[in-house]
Amino acid sequence: MADERWMVSPYNTKLAPRELTVYDSTLREGEQVPGVAFSVEDKMEIARALDGTGIPEIDAGFPAVSREEEEAVKAVCELGLEARILALSRAEPADIDRVIGAGADGVIVFVATSPIHLKEKLGMPFNEAREMAVSAVEYAKDHGLFTALSAEDGTRTGPPS
């Protein structure tokens, strides 16, 4: 029986994690605090510290945001850490190419799935967004990347019809 403590959506009630992997997103999410901007050296130091604690996966950033962010992700990838280095990407081949160019081990592909995001952000129906996500995941996997898919605003997304 599923352990209800792990259920984040009412649509996941029949699923339970078979394996739990902790990944840290400090290098990307930490900069979303007003007034915080990590230098490349800061990101490298934080990544080393996270790796030293045994964190198995580190989200190094979102290379498509800027050339500076791409260089920071690349610098973290070149540290030779034990952790698997991931980077964020929209469900677009050009974004995934930036992840590949930075040298990341894997990619977290995100795509909007809630009705409001589909309408206001992507301007497309769910089926098109799903196909875009499938295509992006296939593209990433074809290029040898560990791949995870994130449903942006997924808690407001109903079951597929």
Three-class SS of residue 16? coil
pLDDT tens digits, one per residue of 110-152 = 999 888 888 888 899 989 999 999 999 999 999 999 999 998 8
Which residues are bridge partners to 112 per DSSP?
Answer: 152
pLDDT tens digits, one per residue of 82-93 = 999 999 999 999
CB 81 within 8 A of CB 69: no
What's the burial of 97, exposed, middle or buried (CB within 10 Å: 0-12/13-18/19+)?
Answer: middle
Amino acid identity of residue 10, one-letter, is P
CATH fold for domain 22-156:
TIM Barrel (3.20.20)
Is the pLDDT score of 23 beyond 90?
no
Cα–Cα distance between 159 and 156 in angstroms, integer? Answer: 10
Cα–Cα distance between 150 and 80 in angstroms, integer? Answer: 26
* Token digits of residue 145: 């990347």
CB 15 within 8 A of CB 2: yes
